[in-house]
Structure 1
């Protein structure tokens, strides 16, 4: 993606199903769990580079001894920093206690991060808010083991104000307005309620307090706690949690917006945000990794019992299509094929744009995430050439001369790597004019391939959000090759609406498609539509969220898809560009054809999968009209 946007967060949970001694004997290390957690997190580094954190829980620890360990770090190297910290602790123990440290049970009793349940999180901050306090996992502490709670997740709630009010009504005083706080405290509240109910029950039956603690740990109903906690949540989420006594869970929202995959065998249960990282870390085939069902929680009790239980009725599945286009690693078998198909499905539009002139066209891509869709476009163009050759040679009524034969058979698409992404420039340059000049050199190009004023360049990108990098860098660099025409092709449709379920795209003014529609409204004397939409959004503030519509759709309705694409080209076109410029976007229909099982397309279509989404888009539009450069929802 030329316009970088922050990715979804990532989670990793491991539950060891055997004693630590088992892994020592079979794999030669008592640190099997922590080593695997490192692999899962490092392989999901694409999902968070602002911070990370881990937490572990030990089973059956004597009172007065620490059984919860947690460590968090900030920055792009957070994962490495965390595990370097843990490794240094292990090395110090081995040096001080060379014999004792060979005993897994001794390690568990004396060294942190040697527990049976391990939870990791990778974080991208949003809108500049980033601190160690914002890094997951979050910890809710209590002297009762069964009331301790560790939580980490990939989520955004659209109704944080409503959820906060519910906490106030319970008598709580949350320390900040953030969805992480509401989630932690909501689950924590009903965890407390469950503990108290079980305590009262067993107390009436005559058990001692010590006996009751063990009975609560055994009988605590995790699914009931999650059902009560999530009753009013509106958002996209995959949330993992561990309770102090050892029960663990991973829950997924009813629409399946956020991803969650798991694998289990007799040795381990593992959950991660992406499937291939599990395959790689545990060397298991694709079909061994399953997906947590929407509205369900994968629950593993302290005794090792594993169930998948529904906590909310699933709705129509709207899994995030941006996961397939951009966020998730392309090493997933299905995602790889989907991205190729996205590129292939664009071929008819591209062929029309170049007037089927393959001979005078150079095909390329914007590094690095558009490479797979580029391969799909290559396949599509090669197929077109083969079909053309077959049509000419088989259906010509007259004899084909040798010269014509050679020309037809020599026709082939020209695929070249024109753009090369350089390392990020140092940020010591502070003057805007100087900085903009340096931004133009983020990408470099390959010279000597494009024929001056004769060839057309077709360059595919996976999506276009703001168009800033196109205008400030890519188009300028491509224009230096003196092409006749430049065609930028987006394998994603036009991004028209904010996301409110985890992606850092929450302000209307960020979208070049929105800017294009506003320009067209004003140019065509239809500015009244802007005010009409604003008034409808304003009037909807007091409506129940399930009665609110996405009124912002009216901004785009007067214009065709192609008209908005043409205006986007006008916006991103640098004033000095010599070549003709055209921008082509993927259609919604083709997106659904390529990704049939991931139909969450609200940022393209405006069709939000939860009622809170409509409130957020309307609020985002109001913020834009009022000149407020803020997001339309609370988040961590």
Structure 2
């Protein structure tokens, strides 16, 4: 119910494998790929609403003419602005000129064969057009021009920065994207120079050397010597000025990427339904890029998939499946339904099996699929109950008796509506909280006051702020007998460091509840001990194995104890309706999503050493920011 966490970024690639004239003749416009890129980005709008950017490369451009183009914009309307700006560049020409593919190839920007798009959500809090992808590194040699974008967050930027400076480089900006651009650009330079030396040995001169270089650049060499330096979750996409295109996925498979190829195109996106809808494909037509793999298209249009880094322990992000990715994906839809369905028993326990007097609903819309699964679970349960009731009859049932049994049903209502966007930023303090409490509205008299339970499911509960300031207040107006808040995800206990903007430790309601339990039970020494253990882990030399010491603070407490404390902390002042909270179990998560084992948000089992180092550092920062300031120890 806290939708202020920022999602993964989105990427989109299109490589035309035939001349522009082919698409003009078959589809009626040379802009077919440009139009498809727009559709792909709109279909991925859920993955980034802070900014967007596109880039294109025009093959075989004459010297003195631009061949690499880029357009970027900020804000939730960035996609519309970008493509509007591109179209405006065509207005100085006649309609016939714009439609003429030969004229377009020679004169119009973005009339190319390689296209790349990016949608941005910041995971660092940094704003401004200079932070919007794609990033571009320019050079007068076409093969040395490099344009990058990605869905990623690197956990060892400091280490790579030091490596660059030790080589004598002087990066202008300290960010993972820029440092990646500089390192990969440096390796691309070396690859170009390798081919330059080979071309000279073959006796080639002048433009023949240039042609040889562009025809023989091996992006796999560049990627292998670049990506082995990084720790993190990533899908990196890139274009070179000479016509190379690539996308590479991290060796743990943390971030997702899907591609499709036929004799006309190679296309890639962060989510499978984007490709299905945009190009009218079946689910099984599309291939997932495997951990550590790169898909590479060279200047001549040859498509290859290469293993760049050996795959590590599979840690594909489960939170992608629970919330971030589009629920229209075939497998994700079924996984989310399963997450809801298998919560039947714990919900029954908290409502004392009183299904007759329980109404089910969901908040927000992203929880809708899990809600359908939850309803399915209760329908299955109720059908079994009906069978049991009929079997327990000691006589042939009458029509009325059967009717009474068979007419039992699972009650579901649209209880809450988010029908306005209040600009709460214009006020402060209590006034802001008052406005926030009115963001949602309820369907009045949809349940019987003081008699019916209300079960409301969400995909995840992160901070709990919206629950406290809005949801529970507004649901209390219906006067249910009890409110049961259900999370289709387990307790979120740890930050993410691989591309999702998760909050600091103290912003998690689960973490705050655990700290309160520690205080109440006089266990402050546990915080002190964990602090010193975390410092020891952070101070370990590079290369030594690091473990997550923050897990220690949760060990003394059961899930139920933490749940009870969360309810106590999030209950608004003056609210009288009893509240329970039900979380998905870790076992349930793995049962519903067996192929995506990346569960560090919930377990603290980070797949990389960079993640382990950062979570320990987060606890050190927390203690020094909060406890030491209060002189607790």
| TM bucket normalised to smaller | over 0.9
Q: Distance in 1 between matches of 2:185 and 2:287?
A: 28
TM-score (norm 2): 0.97
Deviation of the 1:397 alpha carbon: 3.2
Q: Distance in 2 between matches of 1:598 and 1:488?
A: 25
Q: Distance in 1 between matches of 2:479 and 2:398?
A: 35
Residue deviations 1:407-435, cap 9 Å, x none?
A: 32221111011010122112463232111
Q: Is the 8 A contact 2:339 2:588 kept in 1?
A: yes
Q: Which residue of 2 aligns with 1:134?
A: 131
Q: Is the 8 A contact 2:29 2:99 kept in 1?
A: no
User: SS of the residue aligned with 2:366?
Assistant: coil
Find out whether 1:177 has 2:174 as its counterpart.
yes
* Stretch of structure 1 that moved more, 535-544 or 112-121: 535-544
Q: Is the 8 A contact 1:506 1:620 kept in 2?
A: no
Residue deviations 1:267-297, cap 9 Å, x none?
A: 1110000000100000011110110111010
Q: Which residue of 1 aligns with 2:631?
A: none
Residue deviations 1:238-262, cap 9 Å, x none?
A: 0000111001100000010000000
Q: Which residue of 2 aligns with 1:81?
A: 81
Q: Is the 8 A contact 1:2 1:461 kept in 2?
A: no
Q: Distance in 1 between matches of 2:69 and 2:323?
A: 34
User: SS of the residue aligned with 2:233?
Assistant: strand
Q: Distance in 1 between matches of 2:503 and 2:200?
A: 51
Aligned 1:471-510 pairs, distance under 5 A: 471-510=468-507
Find out whether 1:262 has 2:259 as its counterpart.
yes
- 2:158 corresponds, among 161, 165, 181, to 161
Name the CA shift for 1:243/1:157 in 2 (closer, same or farther; >3 Å). same
Q: Which residue of 1 aligns with 2:187?
A: 190
Q: Distance in 2 between matches of 1:514 and 1:413?
A: 35
- 1:430 corresponds, among 427, 430, 439, to 427
User: SS of the residue aligned with 2:53?
Assistant: strand
User: SS of the residue aligned with 1:626?
Assistant: helix
Find out whether 1:330 has 2:316 as its counterpart.
no
Q: Is the 8 A contact 1:247 1:300 kept in 2?
A: yes
Q: Which residue of 2 aligns with 1:632?
A: none
Deviation of the 1:169 alpha carbon: 1.1
Deviation of the 1:541 alpha carbon: 2.4
Q: Distance in 2 between matches of 1:540 and 1:372?
A: 41
Q: Distance in 2 between matches of 1:3 and 1:50?
A: 14
Find out whether 1:576 has 2:574 as its counterpart.
yes
Deviation of the 1:19 alpha carbon: 0.8
Q: Which residue of 1 aligns with 2:379?
A: 382
User: SS of the residue aligned with 1:359?
Assistant: helix
Residue deviations 1:329-368, cap 9 Å, x none?
A: 1111111111111000111110111111011101110021
Find out whether 1:149 has 2:139 as its counterpart.
no
Deviation of the 1:401 alpha carbon: 6.2
Deviation of the 1:3 alpha carbon: 3.7
Residue deviations 1:481-506, cap 9 Å, x none?
A: 01111000000000000100011114
Residue deviations 1:284-322, cap 9 Å, x none?
A: 111101101110100001111101001100012111111
Q: Distance in 1 between matches of 2:337 and 2:501?
A: 25
Q: Distance in 2 between matches of 1:396 and 1:104?
A: 79
RMSD, matched Cα: 1.4
User: SS of the residue aligned with 2:373?
Assistant: helix
User: SS of the residue aligned with 2:238?
Assistant: strand
Q: Distance in 2 between matches of 1:133 and 1:172?
A: 21
Deviation of the 1:530 alpha carbon: 0.6
Find out whether 1:521 has 2:518 as its counterpart.
yes
Q: Which residue of 1 aligns with 2:605?
A: 607
Residue deviations 1:506-557, cap 9 Å, x none?
A: 4101111101111111111111111111101112223135411000000100
Q: Distance in 2 between matches of 1:2 and 1:353?
A: 23
Q: Is the 8 A contact 1:2 1:366 kept in 2?
A: no
Deviation of the 1:570 alpha carbon: 1.1
Number of matched residues?
A: 626
Q: Distance in 1 between matches of 2:449 and 2:265?
A: 60
Q: Is the 8 A contact 1:320 1:600 kept in 2?
A: yes
Q: Which residue of 2 aligns with 1:51?
A: 51
* Stretch of structure 1 that moved more, 190-199 or 156-165: 190-199
Q: Which residue of 2 aligns with 1:42?
A: 42
User: SS of the residue aligned with 1:194?
Assistant: helix
Q: Which residue of 2 aligns with 1:592?
A: 590
Find out whether 1:511 has 2:517 as its counterpart.
no
Deviation of the 1:66 alpha carbon: 0.3
Deviation of the 1:457 alpha carbon: 0.4
Q: Is the 8 A contact 2:530 2:549 kept in 1?
A: yes
Find out whether 1:284 has 2:287 as its counterpart.
no
Q: Is the 8 A contact 1:545 1:615 kept in 2?
A: no
